[in-house]
Amino acid sequence: MTSGSLTGKTVLITGGAKRVGATVARTLHAAGANLAIHYRQSSREAEALAAELNAVRARSAALVQGELLDVAKLPALVEFALRTFGGLDVLINNASTFYPTPIGEITPQAWDDLLGTNLKVPTFLSQAAAPALRKSRGLIINIVDIHALRPLRDHTVYCTAKAGLHMLTRSLAKELGPEVRVNGIAPGPILWPSGQEENQAKRDKIIERTILKRMGSPEDIARTALFFAADAPYITGQILAVDGGRSV
């Protein structure tokens, strides 16, 4: 994979203003892609990221704000990418909510939010993007989770949502092939949840359960996204665990 391998390609990424999403955006941009970066509330981070990318290559990054749970407005994200860059080659369903829902405390609101952001939105946004991606013979990348298959204590609803996203990835690959490839990335311990930092003893226990005995980095996820986008034309319907061996 070389610099410029995505030149002329357009990527739409949800939740791309910060954390892993921003690292993925930077990595694909460095490979030549134009970026339509969705954000919800992180306007300061989004504007700083777009300015950074456009300073490297003028008019190569554009921002679109929106509440993804309003699924009627999801086609507008696709239309924004098409209007701004003239096409769409890669959709990355990255936006997610994550928080505990212990049994006995699960609310309908938490169910709707976690299932909404992690499963409903990727479903309807992929559906909206499908015609453009078929035209470009493009790619969908879903950010899944190793806990789609390995339950995480006190996170029943989140795990259920990611399990659905795991199957959505495989189902979409079958439905949209041969024109569109669909793959997933299942991170392990990459970043600690924002605002939910674990205590050191719990961090050490999680890291000890990996084969490599260390955390990964956002760059590990970004490099995997670049691999799928630039160097994997014969891979579809697969979910690749990037977890240091945690899921073994």
User: Active-site positions?
Assistant: 158
145, amino acid identity: D
The residue to which tokens 């460095």 are assigned: 30
As a whole number of angstroms, the distance between CA 245 and CA 207 comes to 10
E strand residue ranges, the chain: 10-13, 34-39, 61-65, 90-93, 139-143, 181-187, 239-242
Complete DSSP assignment for 96-122: -------TT---HHHHHHHHIIIIIHH
Closest C-alpha to 76, from 125, 25, 131: 125
Distances in whole angstroms, Cα of residue 126 to Cα of each of 54, 109, 129, 131, 139: 27, 24, 5, 9, 10
